[in-house]
């Protein structure tokens, strides 16, 4: 096993000769992973026909990616802390490329689900990239770089949707996955060329029992959330999975508290700053995903309904693209706000902007340009909030645990998106209006979903308000006594 280097010993090492290239490559990798998540969105209605399966079975092409990402993110983060973050990032990209190739060669449900599962394992690229930035970049580059990497999940989703829709409309659907594989290969080559391996390691053995327990608990929980609407929220299968998740997490928590080298340090996770940031991540993730569920449907709803805007999937994707661009633009602004007023203020401001965007959408949904304004406002708020979360997490954990801590934070965002999909799906499925022989989501249903998104963002403001006050940090080093020592970030 490689020699373990403590953060304090490593603090004086030379930084990469081209930090700008490191940031660009890692951010590009995060965007590619996010684009991968949106690939099948234009195909959702066609998947049953393309894969020769029922609509319920075809939905596994989406559910499998969600489950794999949830399981892989904390595990890969811990392995990155132990054996090298760049090494695990490259492995994650390889698995993503392999999954894309399997999907590109598939013509039925089983290989597609396998490929999408492998693609989901690539989600760990984002927390690993954030941790590499913290370890390798000079202090004056960390804030803006981490903010950009953190927001890449939203940026890629907003920019990838119109691109995927364009390809889906004008080419064979397999091309989507060949493009994904090619982009992944480019990321792999760029990481090899420009990203150094961090020498900050935690050492120890991998907590295999903890990994299996966390994976089992997450699969039970997320499977119940994502499939509950299909199976019935009060069905024996759904209730059984929820009950199993609770039991497994209780046993897993007891194991982790007793383990000398736990997969997740629950004592660190229970610190107020870490706990509240992760809870805020759940509701901000909920708010982000609600927008991507509601606005495209409203844009594509037939004009004859009286409230639909009758646009194509491509146009709907293009309407959301400005929100992704704004996320990228506000990333350095988020870092500047964090450096001057602290990450708590950035998180509260971003969440408040998201809440304002949803509030505006309740009465501002009758024209395409209005929804573009709404998407842009929500995107800007998401960029501010996402940019602040890694700063809050990394200022509260030892540097040798940044990958696993950021991985857990990314998992919390994914939990939010899963809950969002379930809640918004139930609202739009039950609040409908008759349109010929079909039932479509009603105007009241869309407004209710917007109000719920507004409420989620407002909850993030409240949670962030209970965070401890304090200035951000560029690095958190482990002192000889085992406590963390915060090094203030530069004010500029």
Given this model, what pLDDT does residue 179 score? 92
Mean pLDDT per block of 10 residues along the chain (492 residues) reads 43 60 91 84 80 84 85 87 91 95 93 93 88 85 81 73 79 90 96 87 81 91 85 91 95 91 84 90 89 86 89 84 84 85 92 95 90 92 88 81 79 84 84 81 92 94 87 41 38 34
Q: How far apart are CA 473 and CA 492, in angstroms?
A: 13
Given this model, what pLDDT does residue 48 score? 87
Q: How far apart are CA 369 and CA 372, in angstroms?
A: 5
Cα–Cα distances (Å) from 20 to 125, 187, 402, in that order, read 18, 15, 21
Locus of tokens 């499925």 = 429
Residue 204, sorted as left (phi over 0), alpha (psi -120 to 50) or beta, turns out to be left
Instruction: Kindly state the tokens that stand for 282.
Output: 């759940």
Q: With CA atoms as reference, report the closest residue to 341 among 408, 388, 292.
A: 388
Cα–Cα distances (Å) from 462 to 279, 397, 450, in that order, read 11, 23, 19
Cα–Cα distances (Å) from 357 to 19, 49, 255, 462, in that order, read 35, 37, 43, 17
Q: How far apart are CA 274 and CA 466, in angstroms?
A: 12
Phi, psi (rounded to 5 degrees) for 435:
-135, 95
Q: How far apart are CA 316 and CA 295, in angstroms?
A: 8
For CA atoms 175, 176, 182, 186, give the dihedral sign: positive
Given this model, what pLDDT does residue 95 score? 95
Given this model, what pLDDT does residue 118 score? 94
Given this model, what pLDDT does residue 477 score? 38
């Amino acid at each position: 096993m490689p020699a373990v280097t403590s953060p304090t010993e490593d603090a004086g090492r030379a930084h990469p000769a081209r930090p700008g290239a490191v940031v660009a490559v890692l951010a590009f990798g995060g965007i590619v992973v996010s684009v991968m998540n949106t690939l099948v969105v234009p195909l959702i209605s066609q998947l049953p026909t393309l894969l020769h399966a029922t609509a319920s079975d075809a939905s596994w092409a989406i559910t499998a990616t969600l489950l794999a990402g949830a399981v892989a993110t904390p595990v890969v983060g811990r392995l990155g802390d132990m054996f090298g973050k760049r090494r695990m990032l490259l492995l994650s990209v390889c698995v993503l490329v392999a999954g894309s190739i399997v999907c590109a060669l598939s013509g039925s449900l089983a290989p597609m689900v396998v490929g999408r599962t492998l693609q989901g394992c690539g989600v760990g690229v984002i927390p690993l990239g954030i941790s590499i930035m913290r370890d390798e970049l000079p202090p004056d580059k960390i804030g803006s770089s981490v903010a950009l990497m953190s927001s890449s999940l939203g940026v890629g989703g907003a920019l990838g949707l119109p691109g995927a829709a364009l390809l889906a409309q004008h080419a064979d659907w397999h091309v989507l996955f060949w493009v994904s594989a090619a982009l992944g290969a480019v990321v792999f080559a760029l990481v090899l060329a420009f990203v150094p391996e961090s020498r900050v390691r935690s050492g120890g053995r991998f907590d295999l029992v903890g990994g299996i327990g966390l994976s089992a608990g997450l699969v039970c929980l997320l499977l119940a959330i994502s499939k509950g609407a299909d199976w019935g929220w009060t069905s024996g299968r759904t209730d059984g999975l929820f009950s199993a998740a609770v039991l497994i997490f209780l046993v897993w928590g007891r194991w982790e508290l007793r383990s000398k080298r736990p997969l997740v340090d629950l004592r660190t996770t229970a610190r107020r700053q870490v706990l509240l940031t992760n809870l805020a991540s759940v509701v901000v993730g909920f708010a982000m995903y609600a927008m991507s569920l509601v606005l495209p449907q409203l844009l594509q709803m037939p004009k004859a309904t009286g409230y639909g805007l009758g646009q194509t999937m491509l146009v709907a994707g293009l309407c959301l693209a400005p929100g992704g661009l704004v996320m990228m633009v506000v990333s350095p602004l988020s870092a500047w706000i964090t450096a001057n007023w602290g990450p708590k203020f950035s998180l509260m401001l971003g969440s408040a902007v998201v809440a304002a965007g949803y509030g505006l959408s309740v009465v501002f949904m009758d024209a395409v340009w209005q929804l573009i304004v709404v998407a842009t406002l929500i995107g800007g708020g998401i960029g501010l909030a996402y940019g602040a979360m890694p700063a809050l997490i990394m200022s509260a954990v030892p540097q040798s645990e940044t990958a696993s801590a950021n991985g857990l934070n990314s998992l919390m965002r994914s939990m939010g998106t899963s809950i969002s999909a379930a809640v918004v799906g139930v609202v739009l499925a039950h609040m409908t209006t008759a349109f010929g022989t079909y039932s479509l989501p009603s105007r009241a249903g869309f407004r209710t979903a917007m109000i719920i998104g507004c409420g989620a963002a407002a909850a993030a403001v409240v949670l962030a308000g209970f965070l401890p006050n304090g200035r951000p940090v560029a690095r958190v080093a482990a002192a000889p006594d085992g406590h963390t020592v915060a090094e203030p970030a530069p004010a500029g």
